[in-house]
A and B are shown apart, each in its own frame.
Chain A
Amino acid sequence: MLDEILTAFTHIFKLYSFLGLSFGVIIGLVVGAMPGVNDSITMAVLIPITFGMDPKIALLILVGIYCSACYGGSFSAILLNIPGTASSVVTTIDGYPMTLKGEAGKAIGISTYSSVFGGLMSCLVLMFFAPFLANQALRFGPPEYFCLAVLGMATVAGMAGKSLLKNLIAGILALMISTIGMSPQTGFPRFCFGNAYLLEGIPFIPALIGFFGITSLLELSETIIKDEVPSIRLPKVKNNFLSKKLIKRLLPTWLISGGIGNIIGVIPGAGMVMAVFLAYSQAVSRNKDKKFGTGVPEGIAAPEAANNAVVASSMVPLLSLGIPGNSTSAIFLGALMIQGLRPGPLLFKEHPDLAYLMIVGFFVANIIMGPIGLAMGKFFITILPKIPRKVLSGIIIAICVTGAFAMNNSIFGISIMLIFGVLGYVLNKLEIPYSPIILGMILGPMMERNLWQSLIISKGNPFIFLQRPLSLFLLILALILFFAPFFALLKSKAKREKNRNI
């Protein structure tokens, strides 16, 4: 194994290979920063182009894109409050408030360091533990997936927000929205009201663009008084490097969030979004003295470390078993098959050079992503204050409508974007957070589908979730995460009463 790894390193540092990898990283950063365009679309478009290329360079370009796209999404999340990718949703919660405080450079720095750390962590996992982890991932059946979805939804209770009850209401509304479309059990259309576009459910990316892009535009238009626009304060930044003190402070968050990202990434179908919400939730519960949602560094470090940790670990089931971990790694499956390769256990035996090249490629891509990302971040921070906010908002609306259309090549996507933009605006007025809605829209179908599959397996016995050790463990974890904020609230109320009596 060590020989193959060293050979792969030698190959990567050849001129064309290194250029291909760097090109992929830059493309990934740019498309990741653009709402509505993500790594999956970009890779799907580039696969035919890579057909005529040397397979090694082609794979390295795709590796570079996949590595950097989710990190690139944090740029627009931090600077514009619009997540560039779904995995950057949580980064907006503390990233944008940091920008408003004039700490955009620090926020980008935290995002960069966190992404690199999480990415490198998952590369090491991929390199040394791939076969073992792949076998563990196979132990996940429908009951475990259902409990995993419940665990994900349980994090809603602990999210930043003024009211626990409203967080829960947001989560329930999200599950309600997720029932729109064809039922996963029978394919029967539910709540479509005769609209064929709704058969596949509410398209997620246009809804996301609506929640963040259109909602903030509507709020901006409302708060304009006498042509005065609240401006983004972006002081001149010498560099985005983090101090040793901050690195030391964030290290535990990186380790834990990276661990969460690794575990979730290995499980096929679990998804990056769940990893970022879980990581954020654990950061909130571990740092009770900090007010998340106001620009806390851990609020950026946790999701960014987690989402990049998912990247390489999602390749574990693909490379070891031939099962893609998520939609993006499914594109890798296509890319490998186009090149005449078969992912799975035989890939390491028949084409070890390519298998290890991909693994080492992820490693090197994460390293070069750091300085490129910091330079790009500094560029954006320099450019943005020069553009008046009103003009920037107009440009943002253009990219929002284009991105919403691009997802399904349909004007319906723009309608959804508008509806969810207005919904987000109304929810803000009612102080109902919409991050739980995003999570629920993803987890709802997974929850329902696996619930029914579990009941079929157990012949209607609902105790199946308690009889399997892994699903029981996940349920207990979910209960702890769900009730922890309630207990914390009761504890603080009791403390206040005690102080009052004294």
Chain B
Amino acid sequence: MIYWNTNIYLSITLIILSIIVFIESLKLPYIDAQFPKIISISLFIAAIVLMMSSIKMKAQEKKKKEHNYWRAGIVVAGLILYILILGWLGYLFSTGLLTAYVIFILGYHKRKQTIIIATVATVVFYLIFKLLLNVPLPMMRFFVGE
């Protein structure tokens, strides 16, 4: 009897990944294709071994942990939005907003303090990177122009 557990799903995913990489490497010139082919075959074998070792394993009763995957999803969504607005709003505003957003999402609901902390942290990092280390940071579009 097969007990479907995480490892089996993982091994199926890895098998698919190794096949995709192998097929993609067939499109490459001979020399450039060899290393990816060897790696994809190794991954295929490792995934098969994982599947064989997991297939008879009883699904273990895991302690029921309360998972809030959706919270992690909200943080990811915030970061995606940050990437999209960074070029428009510039470093200072975008990073300040992101910092405040993350602090708020994690459950710190003191709004005034959050805004002050986010502002101070962003300005300090701006000064360190831009002025001290000479790293150019994105400016707001209004100032840079098209």
Beta-carbon contacts under 8 Å, B51-72 to A: 53, 66-69, 71-72
**A406 & B36 in contact (Cβ 8 Å cutoff):** no
Give the residue of B66, B83, B117, B128 whose beta carbon is less than 8 angstroms from that of A414. Answer: B83
* Chain A residue with Cβ nearest B43: A172
Which of A99-107, A185-193, A335-343, A479-487 contacts the other chain? A185-193
**B32 & A165 in contact (Cβ 8 Å cutoff):** no
**B83 & A172 in contact (Cβ 8 Å cutoff):** no
**B98 & A179 in contact (Cβ 8 Å cutoff):** no
Q: Does B16 contact A (CB under 8 A)?
A: no
Q: Does B26 contact A (CB under 8 A)?
A: no
**B87 & A172 in contact (Cβ 8 Å cutoff):** no
Interface size class of A (residues with CB under 8 A): 35 or more
Kindly name the residue among A42, A222, A432 whose own CB sees the greatest number of chain B CB atoms within 10 A: A222
Q: Does A223 contact B (CB under 8 A)?
A: yes
Which of A12-20, A267-275, A377-385, A395-403 contacts the other chain? A395-403
Q: Does A37 contact B (CB under 8 A)?
A: yes
**B68 & A218 in contact (Cβ 8 Å cutoff):** no
**A397 & B40 in contact (Cβ 8 Å cutoff):** no
* Chain B residue with Cβ nearest A217: B75
Distance (Å) between the CB of A80 and the closest chain B CB? 14
**B95 & A406 in contact (Cβ 8 Å cutoff):** no
**Contacts A165-B46, A179-B35, A217-B102 hold; do A409 and B136 have CB atoms under 8 A apart?**
yes
Distance (Å) between the CB of B28 and the closest chain A CB? 6
Q: Does B125 contact A (CB under 8 A)?
A: yes
Distance (Å) between the CB of B56 and the closest chain A CB? 15
Kindly name the residue among B25, B102, B106 whose own CB sees the greatest number of chain A CB atoms within 10 A: B106
**B107 & A418 in contact (Cβ 8 Å cutoff):** no
Q: Does A388 contact B (CB under 8 A)?
A: yes
**A186 & B29 in contact (Cβ 8 Å cutoff):** yes
**A188 & B39 in contact (Cβ 8 Å cutoff):** no
Residues of A within 8 A of B117 (CB): 391, 394-395
Give the residue of A227, A401, A448 whose beta carbon is less than 8 angstroms from that of B35. Answer: A448
Give the residue of B69, B79, B108, B132 whose beta carbon is less than 8 angstroms from that of A391. Answer: B108
A421 to B47, CA, bound (A): 23
Distance (Å) between the CB of A186 and the closest chain B CB? 6
**B137 & A402 in contact (Cβ 8 Å cutoff):** yes
Beta-carbon contacts under 8 Å, A225-251 to B: 225, 227, 229
Q: Does B31 contact A (CB under 8 A)?
A: yes
Q: Does A63 contact B (CB under 8 A)?
A: no
* Chain B residue with Cβ nearest A41: B133
Give the residue of A172, A176, A418 whose beta carbon is less than 8 angstroms from that of B80. Answer: A418
Distance (Å) between the CB of A108 and the closest chain B CB? 22
* Chain B residue with Cβ nearest A431: B6
Give the residue of A398, A409, A425 whose beta carbon is less than 8 angstroms from that of B99. Answer: A398
* Chain A residue with Cβ nearest B35: A448
Residues of B within 8 A of A466 (CB): none
Residues of A within 8 A of B6 (CB): 429-430
A467 to B69, CA, bound (A): 54
Residues of B within 8 A of A388 (CB): 108
Give the residue of B10, B29, B76, B138 whose beta carbon is less than 8 angstroms from that of A218. Answer: B76
**A225 & B10 in contact (Cβ 8 Å cutoff):** no
Distance (Å) between the CB of B120 and the closest chain A CB? 9
Distance (Å) between the CB of B92 and the closest chain A CB? 11
Give the residue of B35, B46, B72, B99 whose beta carbon is less than 8 angstroms from that of A451. Answer: B35
**Contacts A169-B47, A221-B68, A222-B67 hold; do A393 and B102 have CB atoms under 8 A apart?**
yes
**B31 & A185 in contact (Cβ 8 Å cutoff):** yes
**Contacts A191-B24, A452-B31 hold; do A397 and B102 have CB atoms under 8 A apart?**
yes
Distance (Å) between the CB of B66 and the closest chain A CB? 6
**B68 & A224 in contact (Cβ 8 Å cutoff):** yes
**B82 & A45 in contact (Cβ 8 Å cutoff):** no
**A229 & B125 in contact (Cβ 8 Å cutoff):** no
- One digit per residue, 1 when the CB lies within 8 angstroms of any chain A CB and 0 when it does not, for chain B 20-52 equals 010011001101100110011011001101100
Residues of B within 8 A of A179 (CB): 35-36, 39
**A222 & B98 in contact (Cβ 8 Å cutoff):** no
Distance (Å) between the CB of A450 and the closest chain B CB? 12
**B50 & A169 in contact (Cβ 8 Å cutoff):** yes
Distance (Å) between the CB of A252 and the closest chain B CB? 35
Distance (Å) between the CB of B94 and the closest chain A CB? 9
**Contacts A165-B49, A217-B75, A220-B106 hold; do A394 and B100 have CB atoms under 8 A apart?**
yes
Give the residue of B28, B46, B137 whose beta carbon is less than 8 angstroms from that of A405. Answer: B137
**B108 & A418 in contact (Cβ 8 Å cutoff):** no
Residues of B within 8 A of A45 (CB): 132-134
Q: Does A173 contact B (CB under 8 A)?
A: yes
Beta-carbon contacts under 8 Å, A91-125 to B: none
Kindly name the residue among A188, A190, A394, A405 whose own CB sees the greatest number of chain B CB atoms within 10 A: A394
A406 to B126, CA, bound (A): 11
Q: Does B103 contact A (CB under 8 A)?
A: yes
A214 to B72, CA, bound (A): 10
Residues of B within 8 A of A414 (CB): 79, 82-83, 86
**B129 & A176 in contact (Cβ 8 Å cutoff):** no
**B36 & A398 in contact (Cβ 8 Å cutoff):** no
**A394 & B107 in contact (Cβ 8 Å cutoff):** no
Beta-carbon contacts under 8 Å, A399-435 to B: 399, 401-402, 405-406, 409, 411, 414-415, 418, 421-422, 425, 429-430, 432
**Contacts A176-B36, A222-B69, A397-B102 hold; do A169 and B95 have CB atoms under 8 A apart?**
no
**A176 & B66 in contact (Cβ 8 Å cutoff):** no
Q: Does A86 contact B (CB under 8 A)?
A: no
Instruction: Give 18 pairs: A residue, B residue, CB < 8 Å, sorted on A.
Output: A37-B133, A41-B135, A179-B36, A188-B28, A191-B36, A218-B76, A221-B72, A222-B67, A222-B72, A224-B106, A391-B114, A394-B118, A398-B118, A402-B137, A405-B135, A409-B135, A411-B83, A452-B31
In order of increasing CB-CB distance, the 5 nearest A-B pairs are: A394-B103, A390-B106, A183-B32, A390-B108, A227-B107
